[in-house]
Structure formats: structure tokens, C-alpha cells
Structure 1
Amino acid sequence: MKFDELGLSEPILRAINDMGFEEASPIQEAAIPVMMSGRDMIGQAQTGTGKTASFGIPVLEKVDSKNYATQVLILSPTRELAIQSAEELHRLAKYMHGVKILPVYGGADMMRQIRGLKDGVQIIIGTPGRVMDHLRRKTIKTEDIHTIVLDEADEMLNMGFREDIETILDQMPDERQVVLFSATMAKAIMDITTKYQRDAQTVKIERTELTVPNIDQYYYDVRRKDKTEVLSRLVDFYAPKLSVVFCNTKAMVDQLVENLQARGYAAEALHGDMKQAQRDRVMKKFRAGSVEILVATDVAARGIDVDDVEAVFNYDIPREVEYYVHRIGRTGRAGRAGRAFSFVRGKEVYKIKDIQRYCKTKIVAQNIPSMADVQAQKVDKVMDGVGAIIDEGGLRDMIDVIENAVNMSDYTAMDIAAAFLKKALESAQGSGEELEEKHNSQARDKGERKHKDRDRRDGKKKRDEKRKAQSRRFDEGQVEEGITRFRMSLGKRHKIRPNDIVRIISSEAHIPGKAIGAIELRDEASFVELPSDMSGQVLKSLKKAKFKGKKLGLELAFRN
């Protein structure tokens, strides 16, 4: 089922499209209508089936963005899951102005969470222990809560949170919707549903057998900007006959195909925006081998049934565990060998661990092949081909040509052989020198950092000078081209800090923190610099924004 068949609002559909979702997963298709009806629900589905969007989309549809009171409480077993769920809800709420989402969990600064709650938060995602702390402090108000979600309820009970969960539910309003997701339906789960739910509808998605075929699986720690280069290098190193590369969005598919074609690879795209005739034409070329690399989204790739696929690349880690199984199942068919490669960065490593746990498989961390490795592999392949030609025989005429060339020039037979080898290698040569230089540069940077650490006083002096220069720049009204400076009517006297300003702008205007420029705090006012193309969005979104009950008073100060 397509998402636009579920009766969702336009802002949510836009966000879903940006995230690259093409159709609802079974749990989303079943759970979203029940939750949107307001009925209590028991959702039985394992991790990796799209549960977060199953409850995230309905709660966002039900939230009143004009009411700053807490309206939704989502309980998660771990801080990692709470953060992950908050990030997904932020992406889903991308075009919903005024909706605030806050994760609360143990181990984080309590006072910072309290400040965030005082500013007004409609959706709280938290671990039971920290939510209990806030309820005791009365920093979470329950009067307006109309929806409570227990995510991975079985895990929370296994971790000993039953008493906390019941205490929390006892403090919720009588008129509320209670939604529970669990992979299993143990007695303790049924006790909670009986006590705290009314006429709950059960939505059960049968567990798929998450097993993977006998395929060698590897993952690489790769920065996003290096992914295309690493993909090229792995294709050159392993030289698979046919490859399928998976991306999470249609836009990424098109961009990657363009980059691969520019590097000389026979690559084509396959995604939902293509007409059926286009898809059929691409698949015909892929089966015939005139297209060696097929770059696809998950939904579009369902029709791929080609036995000769020797490698699958997860350019983007799939959002659901089941998709990983479907993806790598494209290789290793009909008894053939197959390889699967996944690119991860930072906390995405946790997704690899989830996949290994649920699929009972092993995904091995690998180092990116160096250019020397790639070159040696190419030489081996060329020499294997040369050996096969020699074994076939029939080279008498070619030997005569070489001997004539040696007799009529200063070249030796070895010179000619080396020239032919070089020509053969250049025809498949990648552009890996760029990444190689990056790695060398990183090593040099580490050495430089060690040197700087030995002279911290100089570093502090430079930072002080930079702050003074920045302050002078603000005083003199200087601003870089393409930058707009805003003035806020709150300053040091009002106890506002730079990270408060970043948080407010990021949450209200949906602008990434890295886009926010210099911030200058004065006693009675503050100044912040932002890209000029975001100025309209910022002014509109922060018109009514407050900090500790006081209006920000944002206004344009200077534009260049």
C-alpha cells in the first residue's frame, strides 16, 4: 500500500517522500489506521519491520502544534532506541512547524532536559527510569497526554521496568490511547494489556524467517563523501561480473549512477519514478551484461531475478532488517559464490549489529583496499588472462611481429610486454589516488595535532584572538557574503547560552546545527549568523518562539 492511500496529511507525505519510503511496510499498513482511529492497540512485530513509523506517523497526525503541553509519551527500553526514535520522528515532522520532540534518558544532563521540557514539548520519548524521575520532579505534566506508546514492551519487562511502567501508566489521564508494541506476547505483557488497555485491537505481523544464504558479508567504515570512491575501488578489486548497488532514496540512485558513469562504469538506475518500459529496458541490458552495475531502491529491485549477480553493495544501510535479507539474496544464487558489502559510518555500526543478531549471520569488518592492492589484483587478473591465451596456443604470428619489432628498434621484448600490460591496466584504472591522498592527509593531520597538543597555550591565545576579532566584526557591522545576521532581544542577563540558541533554531526552524554560524552574546541581546537563503524560514518559524517564557524578539540585523 502506498502512503498516500492511508489518508495522511500533506506535510507528513512530503517528509515520507524525502526519506525515500515508497510504500508502507506490513506493520505500517496495518497499524497506522488503527492508531489514527484512537483505539488501543497491541502490535506484535519484531525489530526491523518499520515499527517506529508505525506509531510515529499517527502520533504526529494527532498532535496539536499550537498546544505546547505534552500530548504523547513514548517509552523505550534503551537510550539508543529513544534517540533513534526521536531522530526518525524529527525527520517525519520536517514540514510540521511548531512540533517539538524531546528524548529523555539516564546518563544525560538532567537540568538540560528540564530546560527543554519547560520550553514546551508535545512528544516525549524516554526510558522508564528517567521518565519516572521527571514525574517525581513534576517536570513532565500529564494533563494533556492523550497517547502512550510502549515500544519493545517485552524488552522493557526483561530489563526489570515493569513496576516503573505501571507507576507511569497509573499517572496518565483516564481518557487516553495506550499502544503497545512487542515481539512476543509473554504473560507479563498480557497482564499489562488487560490492566491498562480497553478493547485493544491486535495487529500481528507474522515473523519472517530472517535467514541469509551462504554469502560472504563485509562492512566498511566509510565517510559519505568517500562512498563513491570506495565503491569504485571494490568493484575494481573484486571485478564482479554483475553488481547490484542499493540506495535508500531515488535521488541518491540517480546521483550515484551519474557519478559512476562519469568514472567510466556501465551503470544504470532502477527506481519507482521510472516507467515500466524503462525498467524493462534496463533489466534487459543488465541480464545481457551490457550494464554491469545496477543501482536500485528496495521496492524497484523486487523484480530482479538474475543468477549471475556476484556482488551486492549496501551503499546506504537499509532501514529495516528484512530489507537487508532481501537485498543480499540477489547474489549467491544457483549455487554460485556471492559477496555482500555494506558501507557504514559512526553509529550506523549498531544497525550492523542488529542485522547480525536478528539474521544470525556474521558481517566482517574490512579495511578499504589500498591502490596498491587494487593494482596488484588487476595485474593478477591480466596475467591470468595472458596465461590462458598462452595455453590455447596459436601465437606464432604474434611472436613473429614481436621479433620484427625488436629487430627494427631499440626495444626489448620485455619493454613491449610491459607496455601492453600498462595499456591493459589503464583501460580499467580508477581514480583512487584521491582517496589515497585523503588517507595520507589524515595521517599527516594526526601528527600535526600531536604537535599542537604540546603547545596548548598558543592554541588558547589564538582562540581568544579569534573571539576578539569576531566581537569587533559584530561591532563594525561586517558580515560575509551570503550570510544574514539576526538580533535576539535576550542576552546574558536572561541566562541564554549559545547552545540554547542553536537548539531553538534547530528545533523550531528545522535547520541543522552545522548551518548555524557565529553567535555573539551581549548583556541585553544576542546575535547569530545564518545563511541568507534560510532567513525567511527562520523569521517565520521563530516569530513566536520563547526561551524560559520570554519572547526571543528575533529581527534582521544585517544582510550581505
Structure 2
Amino acid sequence: METFQDSALRDDVKRAVAELGFTKPTPVQAQAIPLILDSDRDLVALARTGTGKTAGFGLPVVDGIDEEDKSVQALILCPTRELCLQIAKDLGTFSRFRKGVKVVAVYGGSPITHQIKDIRAGAQIVVGTPGRTLDLINRKKLKMENLKRVVLDEADEMLNMGFQEELNAILAATPDEKQTLLFSATMPKEAKRISQTYMTDPAEISVGHSDAGNSNIEHQYFKVRGSDRFALLRLLIELDPDLYAVVFCRTRREVNGVSEDLRFAGHAADALHGDMSQAQRDDVMNRFRRRRINILVATDVAARGLDVQDLTHVINYNLPDAPEVYVHRSGRTGRAGKAGSAMSIVTGREVRHIRAIEKYSKIEFKLQDVPSQDEVYRLRALRFANKVKEAKLDDKVAAFLPEVIETFEGMEREELIQKILGYGLGALSSQLSGQKQVQNDNSKDRRDSRPDKGGKEYTTLAMAVGRKHGYTVPQIIGMMNRRLPGKKIAFGKIDIQNNMTYVGVDAREAKKVVAAFEGAEDKGVDLNVRFFEGGTKVSAPWKGGSGKKKKHFKAGNFKPRAKKKHRGQG
């Protein structure tokens, strides 16, 4: 299949594709579309995010709908509301010249009564999230008896989000004779079990999966001390004034803290995490898509299904636990043939996660030197100068050019350039003022921290309070000592930031400190004292290391059942 016009798609579907400006299919589309159209065979397709999977299954699904039959003929399951709406919109576009084809999206956070009404009105294609889809099936509002195709889009993401039981129940409610299509960026064992249980002799294709590094994405990492993460993040953002990025953090607290600190530093940033209401999430995403904000700080759960074009950067404030999650994150940039950059901020101990990702995905990372403030100033000044040089004068402004020239009369060339540069980069100076210098962490990668000469090891704890709450170093020390009466705690470095505080404590007492602060509040704020995300265990004075590891996700119990038969099988 060299072009869409060469395919066996219906003429009205080809017309819709042509009007979208699509001529040549992507590799996954070129392999998947003929296979889905030409047989009833099941399919497992492994393809990275951004490779055109939606059209790969969406065009054949739209093509195969019987316009005279108003019952549900195709069900597409996906992990999030945002992706659900995007797929439904795309399928609506693909079917624009098939007037009898109706697509309905069903998802949580929206009145179920409205969705039931839409299904009753005649929906041949239903796109849904697992929870809401199962709810509608259990209410007997979503009927499966005439279903011809089931698509599991981003299957690995649905399983990572804990939807295994819902997927099992939904698939168990579908007819024996149907075509099942599983699309995924990775193939975890839970997804493999689903394919083995609910699919019969599936065809397999793999595009951009075994070699995730074969793309337009440059993968870089910076090795710093844990306490320098935020300072480095600010420098990376300042390096590129045209940056349009998602910054990934582990927890909602860290997301809130980092996004607020970025806004405090003068950047257009906002947060996205699972504890936000749907209305809040929609508002943030609308502003991000319109570029009213150019930095989105998010957790993996909140960003799943995120479909935003033209991202220049993905920045890992914390690396994910699983290599396949890194592939998902980085795949959000470098789309449609455009260049993208995936940057990761790591401590010495976390370098082993970089090696695990390289081994898993065949990605090659480049270790980069931490940029200095002088380098930031230099690059920004040169970019600004080039923009001034390339600027064109608007006709309306040109009418006043003689008056403007008169304003600058008597100024030498160098003085005028200095004035222009000072005006253009004045905001940068104010943003970086007070910012501490960040250094490369040149310590050797190691699994164990080393004691200082006094024999002490220090573990870094994080607290969800900082300068904006009025805390000082003596207050932090006093608060900790009061929580452990009779214990004299040895402290390492204490770094108070705007919303967070990092405290080095004697490694032997760290667990007791965390336990003593469980559920503790101060000044009406939940202190949330915990081992520093990323697990930084440091020797005085702050040499690197580890604390607690975050547990990997474990899916629920899998209940297999007998394989289903396809049409025509005896």
C-alpha cells in the first residue's frame, strides 16, 4: 500500500483522507489497514505514540460500518477522556462523507444520561474509557450482540492505569465472532495474556517499537545533585525561549510545587494531575493547546492520552520507574517528522535507570554538561540579536520611522546595540537573579553511599513546605527535634525552596523521622514528609545516593477464559 488511493478503502473514505491532505500512509498504517480490511484476522500492532495509529485502525473501522444498521458495530477502548474525545473527533472526520455513520464518545466525568441518549439515537461506533464503557454494559444500555470489531488502543497504558479487570469484563461481554485489534507501544505480560485469551492466531506487526531511538528525538540527560533539580530545570527552560514542553514529575505535590515555582520565576506554566476536577483539567489543556501557557507540569497518569502537536521538549524532572513509560513520554515530541528533544534530570544513582532504558528501547542517551548562567545569557543574546536582524518593519510603524530615528540621534552604534540588548533581555536578568549556580555531579555512579570522615551517612527527606510558608532553617530543625523528643538528630544540608524543603538527616534515623511526621500539619499545611522522590541518599556534604524505591505497578488477578471463535470457524 504505497498511497491511500491504492488501498481497498471505500471511495467516500478515500475522499475524506484526501481532503485531510493525507497521501502516503505511515508505516503502521501501510501494514495495518490492508490486513484489517482483507481479513477477519485479529491483530496485535506495536507502534510508538505519534506514528499514526488512530488512522491505522480508524479508517478500516469507518470503512466497515453498515449505514443501514443503527446498532453498535465497533467498540474502541482507550485509557483517558482526552484520548477518547480525540479518537471520536478523528473518526468523525474520517466518516464525514458517510452520512449514515455516527460516532459516540463515552467517558467518566460527564453525565451518563446524555451518553445513553446518544447511543439510543443510533451509534454504530462507540469510543470509550474502560470504566464508563463497563458501566453502560452492566446497565444494559450498551448492547454488544451486533459488534464486529473491538479495538484496544494504548493497551499497555490502560493496564498500567489498573483497568485490567474492566477490560476482562468488557471483552467477556462481546460476541465470540468478531475482529479484535490491539494497539500498544509496548507489550507487557498482562497485554500478552489478553491477546492469548481473547484473540485467535493474531497477526503481529511492529513499527518503531524495537528501536524507539530511530526517530527525530534527541535523548539527553544531565547528572546533578538531587537538590539542584529545580535550578537546572530553570536553566534548561531559559535556554530556549520558544520551548513548548511537558515536564514530568512523580507526584501531584511535586507537580504543584514545580509549576508554582516556575510561575513565581516568571514562566507561563501550569499543573496537570489526577486530583484535579475534569473542568480544571479541560481548562489547563485548552490553554496549553492555545499556547497561553507553554510549560505543562504533569504526572504520568494525568498525561496519558495527551494529544498535543508540535511539542519541542519533554523534560523528565524525575525518570519513570519503567523503561516503557519513558518511551511513552518521549514519544510525545518529535512527531510528524519534526525534531524533538527529550531531557532527563538524574542523580548519580539514577544513571542505572538510563542504562535500563537504553537496553530496553535501543535509545542512545547523550550526557550533557549543565549549562552555566553565562552560557544561557550568551545563547539568548545571540538568538535575540538574530531575531532583531530578521525583523521586518510594519508599514503602519514605518510611517513614524523618522521620529523614531530622531529619538536615537546622537547615539553611537555600540551604545544603541547595548540599549536594545538591555531592553530585550532585561526580563531574563531578573528571572535568573538569585539563582544558584548548578554544577555537574561528577561523582562515580554507585549503588551505596559513602560515609563522611565522621562515619555518618545522610538521607534526603522532602517536605511540602518552603519559603512561601515562612520557613527558615532553624524552624525546620526545631520542628524535627520537637517531633522526636529525646533524640538528637544529625542534620546534613537543608535546602529551602519556594514550595519544597529538602533536609539531609542521619540515615539511621530517617525512617523514624518520616514515621514521626505521618499525617503531621503545621500552619494548616500538610507537611507530607517523605523520602525524596528519586531516592536520594547522601553523604555529608551532599554527595548523592538513594532512599526508598517506588513500588512498580502490579495488575490485579487475571482470570482467563476459553478462547473465542471467529466467524467461519467450526
TM-score normalised per structure 2: 0.43
Q: Which has the higher contact order (CA 8 A, sep 6+)?
A: 2
Larger helix proportion, structure 1 or 2? 1
